[in-house]
Amino acid sequence: MELAIYVVDAFTEQQFKGNSAAVVPLTEWIADELMQNIAIENNLSETAFIKKITPNRYEIRWFSPLTEIDFCGHATLASSFILFNQFDVQGEIDFVTLEVGTLSVQQLDNGRIQMSFPNQMPEIVKDIPPAVLDGLSIKPLVVMKNRQAYFAVLASANDVLNVEYNAELLKLLAPYDLVVTSSCNVDSNLSINEGNVSKSKGAGINPDFISRYFWPASGGDEDPVTGSIHAGLAPYWSTRLNKNRLTAYQASKRGGILYCEMENDRVLVSGSAVLYLQGKILV
């Protein structure tokens, strides 16, 4: 059996930045075990499998090298990019998911792809798991949680950039992952230029908030860019900063820029993408 495969760098405008995702279009679903094995072989943070229902409606499932994931933003962006650019799909795309409802996607006039996510605002955690506190080298100011992850709010963007983590302790949080975040107001000169952090204000994009995402129990130690967690980060920082539109930077080694907007009970997350690979899987 031959299957088409594409690899896309998501939440970036250049190759080798952002987060890589594989996209495998299917005409019929294949066995779960085979999808998992393909994801293991790809060894990317996510492999998305998409199957057409009607011209602009697709089922989508996401697999990390370890397990099936119930919500993934960057692989949704990558899948949309392939449909818009390789399959000439026009207009809005609806992705039907198993766990988070229907995700609507459209391509904006500026070329960015905008995804509509459910609002997953985190809530304060009163009994903080020891693994959160002991698993980070810097103690958080606040700890919250949503259906996906624990949120550790740090004092500054520098703390987010410099915090170290203990992957073995963070595995104890399963099935939850951990995101660390801060506003960039304290670090007023923080600037992002082509995915690189600079201390020269105005040299690039000045983000409203910054994050890093650790998921050793579900996919890997640190995820390059995590679109789904911004369904929780954006509403939190929108409330804290009193802004409806926010620019976010995920500060992994590859780095990624996300544009977020609150719209009623939805969170709009936008980004760019670049094609890296097109080929065939022989299974």
Helix, strand, or coil (residue 68) = strand
CA distance 99 to 120: 13
How far the first Cα of the chain sits from its last, in Å, is 5
Q: Is 263 a catalytic residue?
A: no
- 186 in Cβ contact with 148 (< 8 Å): no
Catalytic residue among 41, 46, 164, 263: 46
Torsion-angle region of 42 (φ positive above 0: left; ψ -120 to 50: alpha; else: beta) = alpha
Distances (CA, A) of 269 to 11, 33, 112, 239: 10, 31, 10, 16
145: alpha, beta or left, given left = phi > 0 and alpha = psi -120 to 50?
Answer: beta
Sole residue written with tokens 């100011």: 141
Helix (DSSP H) and strand (DSSP E) numbers for the chain: 6, 20
Residue 168: burial class (beta carbons within 10 Å; 0-12, 13-18, 19+)? exposed
Instruction: Tell me which amino acid residue 140 is.
Output: P
Yes or no: say if 2 and 82 are a contact pair by the CB < 8 Å rule.
no
| CA dihedral (200, 205, 209, 211) positive or negative | negative
Strand locations in 133-190 (E): 142-145, 149-153, 177-183
Nearest Cα to Cα of residue 29 among 4, 52, 55: 52
Active-site positions read 46
